Amino acid sequence: MSWLDKISGSRLLTEGVRRKSVPEGLWTKCESCQSVLYRAELERTLEVCPKCGAHRPIGARARLHHFLDPEPRIEIAAGIKSVDPLGFKDSRKYTERLSEAIEDSQENDALIVMRGQLMGLPLVTAAFEFSFMGGSMGSVVGEKFVRGVNTCLDHGIPLVCFAASGGARMQESLFSLMQMAKTSAALAKMHERGLPFISVLTHPTMGGVSASFAMLGDLHVAEPNALIGFAGPRVIEQTVREKLPEGFQRAEFLKDKGAIDLIVDRRDMRERLYKLLSMLTHFKPPLAA
Amino acid sequence: MNLNYLDFEQPIADLQQKIEELRFATQGSEVNLTAEIAALEGKIVQLTEQIFANLTPWQVAQLARHPQRPYALDYINGIFTEWEELHGDRHYADDPAIVSGVARLEGRACVVIGQQKGRDAKERVLRNFGMPRPEGYRKALRLMKMAEKFQLPVMTFIDTPGAYPGIGAEERNQSEAIARNLFELSRLRTPVIATVTGEGGSGGALAIGVADVVMMLQYSIYSVISPEGCASILFKSASRAPEAAAAMRVGAQDIYNLKLIHEVIPEPLGGAHRDPAAMIASVKARLVEHLERLVQRPMTVLLHDRYQRLMNFGAYEEPQVVTHLKAVG
């Protein structure tokens, strides 16, 4: 056997082995630093690149799973589903888009709300599923958010919401717009009861979500480099006809401008929010009491 | 083409032109064409009624944006007395896209807030085409809180393409400015009446639109995004705005049928701009009637009803939750 045969033979063998034991998607590339990353490790690091710290999108259920204590967890208003109040149709029917989103995401809509505990501190946590129609807020998202608030009011516990949304859901037009008023009004009740609301702004938080409950937190926490704003960068560029400043509408920019309190790495979210919430609620861990 | 008329109104414009020609021809002459002119005028009324009986949502949107439509200051000057405009948010600037101040409605002192568009090129720029910046919403909020403090009812006039999408507006947190107004209006301890007079453009409109009574003029629109914006995203081209307007049901009557507002105020034949005085008078009458009723109500009832109305917004389905009840005893 010549050396050439040895090399090509071994390469063929390697490829064959790889095809068998390394299934599609075991490795992935960081969009930010181009490093090749091991999927299992990314899951451990909550979808944060271990090389450069870039925050990749994370699904709502994974987010809640990592944020809340394993027990107890009660999902709030899991069953409610969107209807099509306007009979909306563009290139496709809204009802078709909904069915597809439900099938792809295995979720009923773009927001998941759970009552649970954070290191023993009881709270309600809501998280947006961005893959469900861009995390857009329609009637169901608004209603679920309000049910979450009502649970907080019933039990005198705080609310944390992880936002990731393109804004209001166009297919429900004015019904969607009114969810901005509805969610904001519910938060006024939290305020009057002296219950904390921490709004965590993740990539991206825009439009009607940004311009309602997401900007009404006692504390505004953002993940690094998250895009946060009212109007989308493209719309602004078209309106003002000038180049947008470097880092415009990114979390760091908002912190400089005074819109948010702090930027927190996803991997530290549990500890940091626990620390903040335990101070705001005068919480004493049961064991230390 | 007569630019005072929209494209679908051109048949009316043509008749109007004919009347003017006849009038011109008979000027100083012995010929009497009064009967002919009267007949043509009758025909104009008939034609206008015909055209306006079947307007598409896009045609309604064009009327809502008509450059001769009465604007906030026209309503304010025509409805209220002793109007005194108050300026600035006390932090950053005075936003001319929102006018606000105190005035009397049939003798009763009120706070009035409205989005103001410009009539000519210069004023349009000054008013930023009716697109408020954060300081405009914060000025409105300052006036709302003052209204609460001195127990003055609040009347708002909505007419905006939307909140301004600019660099400075984002830097000063446009989102928070809108959100804060929604929050505060939902619990403001004084009656609030909102009237959409032209364009109800998304969050920028809603930021002065959370109220005890929400009315829309017959040819006004209200939507989550402009028809053009919706068209460019969902229909892949801004030129398909007419379809987007229909899909989003932007018109006042549709929105009333969906139970999202309290009332539609009918407009004069051909739209508010054909008879501004009549339009302003009917808006005034509606405001007076609603206000009389609202001021009678105890504050707790007023706030409870306002909150409940907000909570009822939404269309969704919920499978019946099966609950197992244990028999007692």
Q: How many domains does chain B have?
A: 2
CB atoms within 10 A of CB B131: 23
* B13 shares its domain with B90: no
* B294 shares its domain with B241: yes
* B32 shares its domain with B130: no
Verify whether the Cβ–Cβ distance B165 to A231 is below 8 Å: yes
- Tell me the pLDDT tens digit for each residue of B114-140: 999 999 999 999 999 999 999 999 999
Verify whether the Cβ–Cβ distance A180 to B203 is below 8 Å: yes
Residue type, A25: G
* B204 shares its domain with B138: yes
Give the pLDDT confidence score for residue A278 in this predicted structure. Answer: 97
Give A212 to chain B, closest Cα distance, Å: 4
Residues of B in contact with A171 (CB under 8 A): 234
* B18 shares its domain with B160: no
User: Residue B324 pLDDT > 90, yes or no?
Assistant: no
Of A227, A224, A257, give the one whose Cα is nearest residue B168.
A257
CA B46, B51, B53, B56: dihedral to nearest 10 degrees? Answer: 180
Is B163's Cβ below 8 Å from some Cβ in A? yes
Q: How far apart are CA B246 and CA A14, in angstroms?
A: 59
Number of Cβ pairs < 8 A linking chain A and chain B: 197
* B221 shares its domain with B186: yes
Residue type, A110: A
* B67 shares its domain with B48: no
What does the mean pLDDT of chain B come to? 94
- Tell me the pLDDT tens digit for each residue of A21-44: 445 578 999 999 999 999 999 999
Cis ω for the linkage preceding A72 (within 30 of 0): yes
| Structural tokens at position B179 | 């959100």
Classify residue B327: in a domain, yes or no: no
Residue B15 sits in which domain range? 7-54
Q: How far apart are CA B273 and CA A60, in angstroms?
A: 50
Classify residue B167: in a domain, yes or no: yes
CA B71, B176, A63, A142: dihedral to nearest 10 degrees? Answer: -40
pTM (2 d.p.): 0.92
A33 marked ligand binding residue: yes
* B39 shares its domain with B71: no
* B32 shares its domain with B161: no
Beta-strand relationship, A159-165 and A197-206: parallel
pLDDT, mean of residues B238-261:
96
Q: How far apart are CA A142 and CA B253, in angstroms?
A: 24
User: Residue B238 pLDDT > 80, yes or no?
Assistant: yes
Give B320 to chain A, closest Cα distance, Å: 9
* B161 shares its domain with B297: yes
Domain boundaries along the sequence of chain A: 26-56, 58-281
Give the pLDDT confidence score for residue B264 in this predicted structure. Answer: 98
DSSP B147-192: HHHTT--EEEEEEES-S---HHHHHTTHHHHHHHHHHHHTT-SS-E
Residues of B in contact with A244 (CB under 8 A): 167
Give the pLDDT confidence score for residue B24 in this predicted structure. Answer: 85
Of B151, B320, B206, B230, give the one whose Cα is nearest residue A169.
B230
User: Residue B171 pLDDT > 60, yes or no?
Assistant: yes
Mutate to test the interface with A, among B259, B313, B323 (most CBs of A within 10 A): B313
A161 marked ligand binding residue: no
Of B314, B318, B323, give the one whose Cα is nearest residue A77.
B318
At which residue do the structure tokens 């630093």 appear? A33
Residues of A in contact with B184 (CB under 8 A): 188
CATH fold group of domain A58-281: 2-enoyl-CoA Hydratase; Chain A, domain 1 (3.90.226)
Q: How far apart are CA A286 and CA A121, in angstroms?
A: 9
Is B322's Cβ below 8 Å from some Cβ in A? no
Who wins on pLDDT, B180 or B17? B180
* B18 shares its domain with B152: no
pLDDT, mean of residues B144-150:
98
* Closest residue in chain B to residue A142, using alpha carbons only: B314
Q: Residue A148: left (phi > 0), alpha (psi -120 to 50), or beta?
A: alpha
| Structural tokens at position A269 | 């979210």
Q: How far is CA A200 from the centre of its chain?
A: 8
Q: How far apart are CA B200 and CA B248, in angstroms?
A: 13
* B21 shares its domain with B101: no
Task: Check which CATH number belongs to the domain holding B78 and give it.
Answer: 3.90.226.10
Residues of B in contact with A216 (CB under 8 A): 176, 179-180, 183
Give the pLDDT confidence score for residue B325 in this predicted structure. Answer: 52
- Tell me the pLDDT tens digit for each residue of B38-68: 999 999 999 999 999 999 999 999 999 999 9
